[in-house]
Amino acid sequence: MNDFIDLTGASGATYRFRRRAVAGDHLPIAGNFALVTLVDGKVTVTTLGKSNDLSRLVAPTEPPEAQVYTRLNVARAIRTSEHDDLAAAYPEAQVIEH
């Protein structure tokens, strides 16, 4: 699994996410997150979300091969804008707020 992935929003903007290595092993900072699977180089986004504290994130566990990726965004307006852009680009993904 890659340590970094780039997800493209509906606007065409690209957002870089970093793989979260261990659940609960994250700084208490706000940001966006994505639950993704990567098969043969193809990224499938199953869940998108935003959180005021990524250290408290309890990510969905389905599908079991999925990995959590996070993107740090302290400013609420930026976090919300990026989340909305990504949600529009991946309509099949479950969208949650934490």
pLDDT at residue 1, as a whole number: 62
Closest C-alpha to 60, from 48, 72, 73: 48
Q: Which helix (H) or strand (E) holds 8?
A: strand 4-8
Q: How do strand 94-97 and strand 4-8 relate by DSSP bridges?
A: unpaired
By residue range, what is the domain housing residue 48? 4-97
Q: How many domains does the chain have?
A: 1
Cα–Cα distance measured from residue 76 to residue 33, given in angstroms and rounded to the nearest whole number = 14
What is the pTM assigned to this prediction? 0.87
pLDDT digits (tens, 9 = 90+) for 65-92: 888 899 998 799 999 999 999 999 999 9
pLDDT beneath 70: ranges in the chain: 1, 21-25, 59-62
Q: What's the confidence (pLDDT) of residue 59?
A: 64
